[in-house]
Structures are given as C-alpha cells and as structure tokens.
C-alpha cells in the first residue's frame, strides 16, 4: 500500500462516566479510497468521524490511540495545524441537511466562507466559484439559490449545497457522516451517485459513515463493521458480501430489507448473535 | 431538475406588521417617543408652573373644570397633561438606555457561557444564581441609596440587576444552537471560534434577544417608577410618572385624577412594551424553527 492518507491506530474513547465509546479501533485509508463505516446506532461510527474532525462532544474523551492524516498527528495537534487542515484538506458532509446550514445566513454567504477564508478569494470571485460549484452538483437556478435562505430549499437541494461546500477546496479526504439518512429514498439515490461521481472526478478519499449496507455496496471499496465501539470485521466490500466471516456481519447482512422478496418479514439481529459478538470482542480484548 | 427555490417568504418586517400586538405596541411606543421628543412644543403648559389658585381642577368632562387644563391640575395647580408628556422623557430614556445596556452585558456573558461551556459557564452561571437570589426591588433601592439618587444611578441599578435576565436566556439558547450541525460545519471549515460565535450563532439568537429587550424595557419603566415613587430617582423638579403617582396618593380623596392618569400612562407603556415583545416573538420565531 502507498503511504496511507488516513491512519487511525488503536483509538479508544470513553464518556465522562467511564463508558467505552470506542475500543482499540484501527483503520487505514489510501488516497482516493472510499471506506465504509457500518454498524447499528451507538456502534461508534459517528464518533470516529467526529474524532477525525476534532468535533467530538465534550462528554467524550479520547484516551488512547492516534489519528494521522498524511503523516500528521491530529490528536492533540495545535489548533493552528487543525484549522489549516480542516476545510482545505479534510471536509465534512454532515448528516442532517436541515440543521447543517445556518438558518439565518444566505446560501451564498455560507458557501463562500471557506473560499474566502481559506483560498483567499475576493467576494465576487468566491461568488462566481460558488455558482460553478452549485452547477457541479446539478443545481439549476444557481443565482437564486445563492441569494436564498436555507429554509427556502428542499432537503435534497440543501444536501447538494453541502456537498458542493465539502468539495469546494478540493480536499483530499471527505468525511461523509450518514449523508443520505435524513433524505427520502429517491433523493438518497441521486445524492449517492453525485458523491460517487465527484469522488471519482476529484480522486477524493471518502470515509463514509452509514448504517445501510445497501449504500456500502454501492459506493465503498473497503468497509469496517463496528459493534459497540469495536471493530468486528474489516475487509473489502467484495469480500464482505461474499464471505462475511463474523456472525455479526452475517446477521447484519441478513437483516437488510430485501426488495427482491416482497412480503418477506424483516430479520432482526437476534440476542444470541449479540451475545456471541460481545463474547468474541471480550476474547479479543483479553488476548 | 424539477426542484426550484420556493417563493421567498414575506420579509421579517412584513411579518411584524401583520402581528396585531406588535403593531399596537410598536405604534404606541412610537407615539410616546414623539411626545417625549417634542414635549416642550406640544405640552400646553409649563409642567413646573404652580398656581395654588388653580389647584385640583378636575379633567374637562367633569363639573368645575377649566378647558385650559384638559386633564386637570394637581395639588399644586400644575397642569397634569403637560407633566405626563414631560415625564415620558425620563421613562423612555431609562427604558432604552438601561434596557440596551443590560442587554449588551447579559447577552455577551450569556453567549460566552453557552458557547465555551466548562469553567466559563460554571463561573457565569453561578454568578447569575447568586445575583438572582437578591430581591430585585430592595437591591435597586439599596444600590441607588449607595450611588446617590439621579438618572445615572437609576440606570446603573437597573443594568446591574437585570443583566441576569438576558444572560440566562441567551446562555440556554446559545447552548442549544451550539449543538446544531451548522456549528460543527463551521468548525470543520477551520473558522475562528469568535467568528463562529458572533457571525454564525449570534444571528440565530438575535430574535430571542429582541423579544427580551422589549420586555426588559417595560420592566425598566416600572423600576424607574418605583424608584421615583420612593423619591430615589431624579430630583422632584423633573416630572416622572412614579413621582406623580406618589403625589397623587396624597390627594387621592380629593382629586383621583392626579393619581389615575400617571398610573394609566405607566400601565399602557408597560403593556405596549410587553405586547411588542410577544408580537415579536410570534413574528420572529417561526422563521427560526422552520
């Protein structure tokens, strides 16, 4: 493998009352790769994403491990180093397009923030660039959108604006934190395709957080399955669906709704599997 | 692409105009401001001119009135209407100056507490707790007694007591805003913290501040009236509503109007500020929550 772009090693985090959030999580991503982080709610997917961006909630503290971006350690790095990397080299596509845009600022102002702050463009140049960015994410009527407030746009349009914003400075790594979870299914598909296309064009690495294995199959190269803050399985997408090794992964795949079998009932992950998984994690922790 | 931008909703100003209470409150306060500014021109008499031969003349619609004195005269023969108009000046100065200063102080501390959390929040919040456990009226009387009476002391007393109202609400609101994803987005753009606080969060807290400010102005008017009533505000040769109420109390059995008119002016002014505040809340809130 080439020099990894993102190298997470032995990352552990816990809440203020001592509950483990992440347990010895390691993850390697090369440039231009799409890496999926899957798991049920509370598995620690979003915590990993937030740890990379340095926006973990105050109640959670990282107590072990390292996060290196292109060789630079991010944990405990001086604020100046982080501020330089964030926005330019690392960007975020947030989860909820409804709250991720500031309701009291116009789209144009928000979209040009990073262009003016980081790329040092003038106001008019930044606006022109923002207009092109909106065209790149298939938005029409861009001049009106730039003048609009977020509540005047639909959820799908807002997510496109946020994607445009993430790709604005052509970052090397994008953290996509469940970017499609808050959208309805038809829009989801368009947004996924859009992210995939832009990712290929710009050769951007994407850390893709999702609970939807269907999404993983469509977009990811590698995948990490998380359970209760620990890595259960880490492999390529191809392997994951053909030869899932861990019982939990198998149960997770089986629990996915099948559109080709209408009427089939959903198969929830059984308590047995969860107990087995916990046991296997304990065994790993003990070794 | 079939999606388009929704038709822009009517502006904030339009929504305020459609809110009857905000409109009533706002118009009444504009009327008061007009009276206060042009008091020497529109007042029919000198508010201080005494004429003991003309004392306690009833308002024009009562028997024994004098058409030159629309609302009658007080126990020293001074024209009530002129005094009411002149007294609006003190009330409004106190309302705006004390209200805005309390707002600036409380908002700044509230923003810092809500945004930075940790020890900053602990420090400011405990201070507010301690502050609010003093009885406000007694504290204001105490403060003015220490500072000496006068307009400045009244304003200082109101600011010192009432900044906590802003601080508490703004802190809570800032805390709620800080948890929203747009703040995370701003952080991940590498935006400086102060810029995030004042450029991203403050505009979203602003409607709440505006509502509070309006309510606070009503409270400031009342506090000033209380201090005037007990003689701790401006000197007695400047007419104030509180002072007029105190004078009216002494002649209540002979001349009810000396008490009732300043009381009504006070009542309507505070009502107008409160209605403006409630109206603003209705007009501004949906824009935020949508």
For B189, name the nearest residue in chain A, comparing CA atoms only. A87
Q: Is residue A121 part of a domain?
A: yes
Residues of B with CB below 8 A from A161's CB?
none
Per-position pLDDT tens, chain B of length 290: 445 565 455 566 777 777 888 888 999 999 999 999 988 888 888 888 888 888 787 887 877 777 878 888 887 888 888 899 999 998 999 999 999 999 999 999 999 999 988 899 999 999 999 988 888 878 888 888 888 878 888 899 889 888 999 999 999 999 999 888 888 888 888 788 888 999 889 988 988 898 899 999 999 999 888 888 888 878 778 888 888 888 888 888 888 888 899 999 999 999 999 999 888 888 876 554 44
pLDDT at A286: 47
**CB under 8 Å to A108, separation ≥6 — which residues?**
A127, A130, A146, A147
From the list B9, B117, B185, which residue is nearest A92 (CB)?
A: B185
Q: A18 pLDDT exceeds 60?
A: yes
State the nearest Cα–Cα gap between A248 and chain B, in angstroms: 31
Distance CA B283, CA B290 (A): 12
- Chains A and B form CB pairs within 8 A to the count of 95
Residues of A with CB below 8 A from B187's CB?
53-55, 86
ipTM above 0.95, yes or no: no
- Name the least confident of A149-158, A259-268, B33-42: A259-268
Q: Is residue A178 part of a domain?
A: yes
Q: Which of B182, B192, B205 to mutate to test the interface with A (most CBs of A within 10 A)?
A: B182
State the nearest Cα–Cα gap between A43 and chain B, in angstroms: 20
State the nearest Cα–Cα gap between A148 and chain B, in angstroms: 8
**CB under 8 Å to B234, separation ≥6 — which residues?**
B90, B149, B150, B151, B154, B228, B240
Mean per-residue pLDDT, A194-209: 90
Cross-chain residue pair A117–B287, CB shorter than 8 Å = no
Structure tokens at B166: 């802003």
pLDDT at B56: 81
Q: What SS3 state is found at B64? A: coil
State the nearest Cα–Cα gap between A15 and chain B, in angstroms: 16
pLDDT at B172: 93
State the nearest Cα–Cα gap between A39 and chain B, in angstroms: 22
From the list B6, B181, B203, which residue is nearest A105 (CB)?
A: B203
More confident residue, A189 or B112: B112
Cross-chain residue pair B117–A91, CB shorter than 8 Å = no
Structure tokens at B153: 């002391």
Region for residue A109 given its phi and psi (left: phi exceeds 0; alpha: psi -120 to 50; beta: otherwise)? alpha
Distance CA B113, CA A116 (A): 29
DSSP string covering chain A, please? --S-SEEEEEEEEEETTS-EEEEEEEEEE-TT-EEEEE-STTSSHHHHHHHHHT---TTEEEEEEEEEETTEE-TT--HHHHHHHBTTTEEEE-S-TTTSS-TTS-HHHHHHHHHHHTS---HHHHHHHHHHHHHHTT-SSHHHHHHS-GGGS-HHHHHHHHHHHHHTT--SEEEEESTTTTS-HHHHHHHHHHHHHHHHHHT-EEEEE-S-HHHHHHH-SEEEEEETTEEEEEEEHHHHHH---SHHHHHHHHHSPPTTSTTPPP-PPPHHHHHHHHHHHHHHHH-
For A102, name the nearest residue in chain B, comparing CA atoms only. B182
Cross-chain residue pair A148–B3, CB shorter than 8 Å = no
- Domain containing A172 — which CATH number? 3.40.50.300
Contact A207, A49 (CB under 8 A): yes
Contact A45, A39 (CB under 8 A): yes
Structure tokens at B40: 């020497």
Strand partners, B146: none
Cross-chain residue pair A86–B290, CB shorter than 8 Å = no
Cross-chain residue pair B188–A105, CB shorter than 8 Å = no
pTM tops 0.95, yes or no: no
From the list B180, B189, B200, which residue is nearest A86 (CB)?
A: B189
From the list A82, A94, A140, which residue is nearest B181 (CB)?
A: A94
Cross-chain residue pair A145–B287, CB shorter than 8 Å = no
| Number of separate domains in chain A | 1
Q: A1 pLDDT exceeds 70?
A: no
> Max alpha carbon distance in chain B (Å)?
84
Q: Is residue A71 part of a domain?
A: yes
From the list B5, B117, B288, which residue is nearest A152 (CB)?
A: B5
State the nearest Cα–Cα gap between B15 and chain A, in angstroms: 16
Q: Is residue A66 part of a domain?
A: yes
pLDDT tens for A64-112 read 888 888 888 888 888 888 888 888 889 888 888 888 888 888 888 888 8
pLDDT at A284: 63
State the nearest Cα–Cα gap between A2 and chain B, in angstroms: 27
Q: What is the CATH number of domain B76-289?
A: 1.10.3720.10
Range of the domain at A265: 6-286
Residues of A with CB below 8 A from B173's CB?
none
For A81, name the nearest residue in chain B, comparing CA atoms only. B190
């Amino acid at each position: 493998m080439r020099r990894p772009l993102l190298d997470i090693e032995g990352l552990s985090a816990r809440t203020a009352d001592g509950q483990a959030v992440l347990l010895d999580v390691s993850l390697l991503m090369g440039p231009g790769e799409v890496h999926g982080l899957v798991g049920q709610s509370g598995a620690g997917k979003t915590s990993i994403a937030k740890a990379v961006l340095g926006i973990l909630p105050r109640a959670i503290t990282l107590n072990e491990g390292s996060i290196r971006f292109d060789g630079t350690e991010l944990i405990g790095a001086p604020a100046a180093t982080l501020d330089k990397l964030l926005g330019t080299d690392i960007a975020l596509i947030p989860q909820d397009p409804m709250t991720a845009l500031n309701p009291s600022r116009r789209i144009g102002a928000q979209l040009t923030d990073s262009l003016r702050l980081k790329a040092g463009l003038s106001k008019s140049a930044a606006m022109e660039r923002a207009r092109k960015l909106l065209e790149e994410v298939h938005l029409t009527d861009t001049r009106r959108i730039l003048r609009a407030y977020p509540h005047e746009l639909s959820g799908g349009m807002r997510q496109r604006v946020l994607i445009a914003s993430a790709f604005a400075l052509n970052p090397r790594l994008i953290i996509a934190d469940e970017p499609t979870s808050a959208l309805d299914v038809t829009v989801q598909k368009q947004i996924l395709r859009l992210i995939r296309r832009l990712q290929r064009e710009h050769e951007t690495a994407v850390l893709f957080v999702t609970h939807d294995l269907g999404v993983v199959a469509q977009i990811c190269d590698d995948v990490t399955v998380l359970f209760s803050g620990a890595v259960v399985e880490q492999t390529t997408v191809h392997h994951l669906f053909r030869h899932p090794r861990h019982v939990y992964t198998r149960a997770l795949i089986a629990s996915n709704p099948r559109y080709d079998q209408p009427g089939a009932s959903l198969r929830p992950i059984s308590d047995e599997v969860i107990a087995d998984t916990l046991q296997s994690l304990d065994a790993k922790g003990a070794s | 692409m079939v999606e388009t931008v929704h038709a822009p909703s009517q502006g904030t100003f339009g929504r305020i105009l459609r809110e009857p209470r905000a409109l009533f409150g706002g118009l009444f306060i504009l009327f008061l401001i007009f009276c206060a500014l042009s008091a020497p021109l529109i007042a029919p008499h000198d508010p201080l001119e005494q004429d003991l031969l003309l004392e306690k003349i009833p308002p024009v619609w009562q028997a024994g009135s004098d058409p030159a004195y629309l609302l009658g005269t007080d126990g020293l023969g001074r024209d009530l209407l002129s005094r009411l108009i002149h007294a609006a000046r003190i009330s409004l100065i106190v309302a705006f100056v004390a209200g805005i200063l309390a707002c600036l102080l409380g908002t700044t501390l509230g923003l810092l507490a809500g945004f930075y959390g940790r020890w900053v929040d602990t420090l400011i919040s405990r201070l507010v707790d301690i502050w609010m456990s003093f009885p406000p009226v007694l504290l204001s009387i105490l403060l003015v007694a220490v500072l000496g009476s006068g307009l400045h002391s009244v304003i200082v007393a109101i600011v010192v007591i009432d900044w906590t109202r802003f601080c508490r609400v703004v802190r809570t609101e800032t805390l709620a805003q800080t948890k929203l994803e747009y703040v995370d987005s701003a952080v991940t753009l590498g935006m400086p913290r102060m810029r995030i606080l004042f450029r991203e969060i403050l505009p979203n807290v602003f409607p709440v501040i505006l509502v509070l400010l309006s309510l606070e102005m009503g409270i400031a008017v009342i506090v000033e009236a209380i201090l005037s009533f007990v003689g701790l505000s401006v000197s007695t040769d400047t007419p104030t509503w509180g002072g007029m109420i105190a004078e009216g109390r002494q002649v209540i059995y002979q001349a009810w109007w000396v008490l009732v008119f300043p009381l009504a002016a006070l009542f309507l002014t505070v009502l107008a500020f409160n209605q403006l505040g409630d109206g603003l809340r209705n007009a501004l809130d949906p824009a935020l929550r949508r």
